[in-house]
Structure 1
Amino acid sequence: MTSSAPRHAVRRRRFSLPAVAGLSAGVLLAATLPAQFATAAPATVVSDSFARTVSSGWGSAAKGGSWTASLGAGASAAVASGEGRITGLKPGASARLALKQANSLDTGVRATIGLPAASATVYTAFEIRRQSDDSTYRGRVEISKTGLAVLAVSRLNKTIEVNLGRFTLPGTYAPGADIAAEFQVTGSAKVSIRARAYPSGAVAPGWQLSLTDSSSSRISGAGSLAFWEYASGSNTNAASTTLDNLSLTQNPATNANTPAPAPVPAPTPSPTTPPATPAQPVTPPVSTPVTSGDRGSATVGSTRYAVPAGAILVSPSGNDSANGNSNAPVRTLAAAVAKASNGATIVLRAGVYNESVTVPRSKTLTIQSYPGETVWLDGSKQVTDWNSSGSRWTTPWSYFPSSQIDGISDNPWFVNSAKPLAARPDQVFLDGTELTQVGSASAVTAGTFYPDAGSGQIVLGSNPAGHSVRISNQQQALVVQSPNTVLQGFGVRRYGTSYLQRGAVRLSNTGITARNLTVEDNAMIGINVESDNTTLDHLTVTGSGLLGIGANSAYGLKVQNSLVLDNNDQEFNAQPVAGGIKVTRSRGVDISNVDASDNVGNGIWLDESVYDATVVNSRSTDNTVDGILVELSDHVIVANNELNGNKIGVIVYNTANVQIYNNDIGGNRLFGVKLAQDERRQANTALTGHDRRRPVPDPTLTWITKNVTVSNNVFGSGGLFQIYALDGVTNIPVDNMNLVITGNLFNQRLTGAQSTLVGWGGGDNRTVTRYDSVQALAKAKGSRWNNVETTAVLPIASMIAAIKSALGVAVGIPDDVAAAIGVKSGTRGLGVFDD
Structure 2
Amino acid sequence: MLSGDIPVERWKPDGAMWSARGYLPPDYEKTGQCEDTEANPCQVAEDLFLDGKPVRRVMKKSAVDATTFYADYAADVIYLGQNPADRAVTLARTRTAVTSSAPGVVIEHLTIRGFANLPQQGALVIAGKDWTVRDSTITSNHGVGIMIAQADNARITGNDIRENGQLGLGQYRSHNGRIDNNRIRSNNTAEFWRADWEAGGIKVTRSSSTISNNDVSDNLGVGIWIDLAGDRVAITDNTIGGNAACGVRYEISRNGRIAGNTVTGNGLALKRGAGTGLLTGAGITVNTSSAVTVEHNDVAGNLNGIGIQARPRGDGPWGEYVLENVMVADNLVDLRGPDTATTGYVESGSPTLPPDSGSVKFQNNRYVLPDTAAPKFSFKGDSLTFEGWQGAGNDTVGAVNPA
Q: TM-score, normalised by structure 2?
A: 0.89
Sequence identity (%)? 26
Q: Which whole-Å CA distance do the structure 2 matches of 1:660 and 1:521 have between them? A: 34
Q: Which residue of 2 aligns with 1:715?
A: 333
Q: Which residue of 1 aligns with 2:5?
A: 380
Alpha-carbon contact 2:34-2:41 (below 8 Å) kept: no
Q: Which amino acid letter does the alignment assign opposite residue 422 of structure 1?
A: C
**1:624 aligned counterpart, secondary structure:** coil
Shift of 1:402: 5.5
Q: Which whole-Å CA distance do the structure 2 matches of 1:731 and 1:399 have between them? A: 49
Residues 418, 565 of structure 1: CA spacing in aligned structure 2 closer, same or farther, 3 A cutoff? Answer: farther
Question: 1:731-790 deviations in whole A, cap 9, x for unaligned?
Answer: 6679725222222211245278x5x342110xxxxx3241x12x44333315x8311111
Q: Which whole-Å CA distance do the structure 2 matches of 1:527 and 1:403 have between them? A: 23
Q: Which residue of 1 aligns with 2:277?
A: none
Matched, 1:658 2:283: no
Q: Which whole-Å CA distance do the structure 2 matches of 1:768 and 1:451 have between them? A: 52
Alpha-carbon contact 1:402-1:498 (below 8 Å) kept: no
Q: Which whole-Å CA distance do the structure 2 matches of 1:438 and 1:507 have between them? A: 32
Shift of 1:403: 5.6
Q: Where do 1:631-650 residues align within 5 Å?
A: 631-647=251-267, 648-650=282-284
Q: Where do 1:176-215 residues align within 5 Å?
A: none
Question: 1:590-615 deviations in whole A, cap 9, x for unaligned?
Answer: 00011111111100000111111100
Question: 1:25-44 deviations in whole A, cap 9, x for unaligned?
Answer: xxxxxxxxxxxxxxxxxxxx
Q: Which residue of 2 aligns with 1:579?
A: 200
Q: TM-score, normalised by structure 1?
A: 0.44
Q: Which whole-Å CA distance do the structure 2 matches of 1:777 and 1:533 have between them? A: 43
Q: Which amino acid letter does the alignment assign opposite residue 331 of structure 2?
A: N
Q: Which whole-Å CA distance do the structure 1 matches of 2:28 and 2:238 have between them? A: 34
Q: Which amino acid letter does the alignment assign opposite residue 656 of structure 1?
A: S
Q: Where do 1:39-58 residues align within 5 Å?
A: none
Question: 1:291-335 deviations in whole A, cap 9, x for unaligned?
Answer: xxxxxxxxxxxxxxxxxxxxxxxxxxxxxxxxxxxxxxxxxxxxx
Residues 724, 464 of structure 1: CA spacing in aligned structure 2 closer, same or farther, 3 A cutoff? Answer: same
Alpha-carbon contact 2:31-2:119 (below 8 Å) kept: no
Matched, 1:785 2:403: no
Question: 1:779-806 deviations in whole A, cap 9, x for unaligned?
Answer: 3315x8311111xxxxxxxxxxx5xx4x
**2:42 aligned counterpart, secondary structure:** coil
Q: Where do 1:223-262 residues align within 5 Å?
A: none
Which one of the candidate residues 531, 540, 556 is aligned to 2:176?
A: 556
Shift of 1:456: 2.2
Residues 635, 459 of structure 1: CA spacing in aligned structure 2 closer, same or farther, 3 A cutoff? Answer: same
Q: Which amino acid letter does the alignment assign opposite residue 485 of structure 1?
A: V
Alpha-carbon contact 1:493-1:519 (below 8 Å) kept: yes
**1:422 aligned counterpart, secondary structure:** helix
Alpha-carbon contact 1:493-1:522 (below 8 Å) kept: yes
Alpha-carbon contact 2:42-2:190 (below 8 Å) kept: yes
Q: Which residue of 2 aligns with 1:745?
A: 366
Residues 718, 665 of structure 1: CA spacing in aligned structure 2 closer, same or farther, 3 A cutoff? Answer: same
Q: Which whole-Å CA distance do the structure 1 matches of 2:396 and 2:327 have between them? A: 11
Question: 1:435-455 deviations in whole A, cap 9, x for unaligned?
Answer: 111223333221211222222
Residues 484, 410 of structure 1: CA spacing in aligned structure 2 closer, same or farther, 3 A cutoff? Answer: closer
Which one of the candidate residues 516, 524, 530 is aligned to 2:135?
A: 516
Matched, 1:604 2:216: no
Q: Which whole-Å CA distance do the structure 1 matches of 2:367 and 2:94 have between them? A: 51
**1:596 aligned counterpart, secondary structure:** strand
**2:389 aligned counterpart, secondary structure:** helix
Q: Which residue of 2 aligns with 1:255?
A: none
Alpha-carbon contact 1:672-1:715 (below 8 Å) kept: yes
Q: Which residue of 2 aligns with 1:667?
A: 301
Alpha-carbon contact 1:674-1:725 (below 8 Å) kept: yes
Post-superposition, which runs of at least 4 consecutive aligned residues in structure 1 deviate over 4 A?
A: 731-735
**1:554 aligned counterpart, secondary structure:** coil
Shift of 1:568: 1.0
Residues 441, 461 of structure 1: CA spacing in aligned structure 2 closer, same or farther, 3 A cutoff? Answer: same
Q: Which whole-Å CA distance do the structure 1 matches of 2:147 and 2:364 have between them? A: 38
Alpha-carbon contact 1:549-1:580 (below 8 Å) kept: yes
Q: Which residue of 1 aligns with 2:49?
A: 429
Residues 403, 616 of structure 1: CA spacing in aligned structure 2 closer, same or farther, 3 A cutoff? Answer: farther
Structure number with larger C-alpha Rg: 1
Q: Which residue of 2 aligns with 1:525?
A: 144
Shift of 1:401: 6.7
Q: Which whole-Å CA distance do the structure 2 matches of 1:650 and 1:709 have between them? A: 13
Shift of 1:618: 0.2
Shift of 1:459: 1.5
Q: Which whole-Å CA distance do the structure 2 matches of 1:540 and 1:390 have between them? A: 41
Q: Which amino acid letter does the alignment assign opposite residue 706 of structure 1?
A: E
Shift of 1:528: 0.7
Shift of 1:396: 2.5
* Runs of 5+ consecutive residues of structure 1 not aligned to the other structure: 1-375, 683-689, 691-695, 762-766, 791-801, 806-835
Shift of 1:378: 0.8
Q: Which whole-Å CA distance do the structure 1 matches of 2:210 and 2:196 have between them? A: 23
Shift of 1:544: 1.2
**2:392 aligned counterpart, secondary structure:** helix
Alpha-carbon contact 1:414-1:575 (below 8 Å) kept: no
Matched, 1:507 2:119: no
Q: Where do 1:13-24 residues align within 5 Å?
A: none
Q: Where do 1:196-595 residues align within 5 Å?
A: 376-400=1-25, 404=29, 409-411=30-32, 413-414=33-34, 416-417=36-37, 420-499=40-119, 502-530=121-149, 531-573=151-193, 574-587=195-208, 589-595=209-215
Q: Which whole-Å CA distance do the structure 2 matches of 1:672 and 1:650 have between them? A: 7
**2:305 aligned counterpart, secondary structure:** strand
Q: Where do 1:150-189 residues align within 5 Å?
A: none
Q: Where do 1:781-820 residues align within 5 Å?
A: 781=393, 785-790=396-401, 802=402, 805=403
Between Structure 1 and Structure 2, how many residues are aligned?
384
Q: Which whole-Å CA distance do the structure 2 matches of 1:459 and 1:416 have between them? A: 21
Q: Which whole-Å CA distance do the structure 1 matches of 2:28 and 2:187 have between them? A: 19
Alpha-carbon contact 2:228-2:251 (below 8 Å) kept: yes
Q: Where do 1:754-773 residues align within 5 Å?
A: 756-761=375-380, 767-770=381-384, 772-773=385-386
Q: Which amino acid letter does the alignment assign opposite residue 743 of structure 1?
A: N
Q: Which whole-Å CA distance do the structure 1 matches of 2:11 and 2:389 have between them? A: 69
Q: Which whole-Å CA distance do the structure 2 matches of 1:562 and 1:643 have between them? A: 16
Matched, 1:736 2:357: yes
Shift of 1:507: 0.9
Q: Which whole-Å CA distance do the structure 1 matches of 2:89 and 2:34 have between them? A: 29
Q: Which whole-Å CA distance do the structure 1 matches of 2:50 and 2:168 have between them? A: 23
Q: Which whole-Å CA distance do the structure 1 matches of 2:128 and 2:358 have between them? A: 39
Which protein has greater RCO, CA pairs closer than 8 Å, 6+ apart? 1
Q: Which amino acid letter does the alignment assign opposite residue 672 of structure 1?
A: G
Alpha-carbon contact 1:403-1:423 (below 8 Å) kept: no
Residues 559, 383 of structure 1: CA spacing in aligned structure 2 closer, same or farther, 3 A cutoff? Answer: same
Q: Which whole-Å CA distance do the structure 2 matches of 1:659 and 1:403 have between them? A: 44
RMSD: 2.2
Alpha-carbon contact 1:708-1:737 (below 8 Å) kept: no
Question: 1:619-650 deviations in whole A, cap 9, x for unaligned?
Answer: 11111110000001111110111111112101
Shift of 1:467: 1.5
